[in-house]
Amino acid sequence: MMALGLKLLLAHLLGEFVFQSKKWVDDKVAKKHKSKYLYIHLGVHAVLLLVFLNFQSNYFWAIGIILISHFSIDLLKIYLTKYVNHLYLFLADQFLHLLVLALVVGFYYPYRLSFEALFSSHHLLLIVALIFLSFVSAIIMKHVMSGFKFEENLSDDSLKNAGKIIGILERLFVFGFIVLGQWQVIGFLLAAKSVFRFGDLSRAKDRKLTEYILIGTLISFGLAILVGLIYLKLSEVMVT
């Protein structure tokens, strides 16, 4: 099962990202179904699938389904390019491609899904921790930092919601490092953030910005460390 899945995934990655140039993509968007590169792209996938599956006849029908679905998904993506956000379209496109591959693998090696295992205490604990570190902690940080009545001077080139996203990512990274037992990496993460923020701090006319950033960073890291320690402790309790 794993070998088949990896072969299909490798063929997809090579055909989609390695052997497809920007020229091909632009031509497909401009000419749509009339673009020769759409069919060349499909041919590349066909060759890769045949090679990785060793030309075995029992996989021919699966290759056919993958190619037909790939053509249909790509064509739909091309026609929706002008109407849908590129990021959403890219994610949906890749999700559908991978879903087809997963269904093909599932046909040869039926999946054994256990809802009891899916909703086990360990998995639920992990889900709770991730939700708290992302959505809940972001709201907590917003309320706590609003009490300092400080508005950072945001220029027009600042990304929308960048601070919120950075905070969520840093807490998830810290949590992951704690679970993996890599405490020393947290120090490097904190140092890296300080380096990137050095420009803002050096341009500050007073200590308010420095203090504001320091408080926010320490609270964010503190929440992540606290959640990580609680997660490890509860995981040990569940084992015993």
pLDDT tens figures, 88-97: 999 999 999 9
Q: At what angle do helices 36-52 and 22-31 cross, to 10 degrees?
A: 130
pTM of the model: 0.74
CB atoms within 10 A of CB 119: 10
For residue 220, the model assigns a pLDDT of 93
pLDDT of the residue at 45: 97
Mean pLDDT of the chain: 88
Mean pLDDT calculated for residue range 1-7: 93
Share of the chain above pLDDT 70, in %: 90
Residue with tokens 């099962």: 1
Measured CA to CA, the distance from residue 166 to residue 156 in angstroms comes to 18
Per-residue DSSP letters for 68-88?
A: HHHHHHHHHHHHHTTTS-HHH
Q: Is the pLDDT of residue 197 over 70?
A: no
125, 233 contact by CB (below 8 A): no
pLDDT of residue 11 exceeding 80: yes
Confidence label for 101 from pLDDT (cuts 50, 70 and 90): very high
Question: Residue 153 above 60 pLDDT?
Answer: no
Residue 77, pLDDT above cutoff 60: yes
pLDDT for the residue 239: 74
Higher-confidence position of 64 and 147? 64
Rounded CA separation 140/227 (Å)? 14
pLDDT value of position 206: 59
- pLDDT (average), residues 96-109: 96
Strand locations in the chain, DSSP E? none
Q: Using CA atoms, how far apart are residues 100 and 190, in angstroms rounded to an integer?
A: 41
Report the alpha-carbon angle 151-145-158, nearest 5. Answer: 45
Q: What's residue 156's pLDDT?
A: 52
Q: pLDDT > 90: what percent of the chain?
A: 66
The pLDDT of 127-153, averaged and rounded, is 85
> Which amino acid, 52?
F
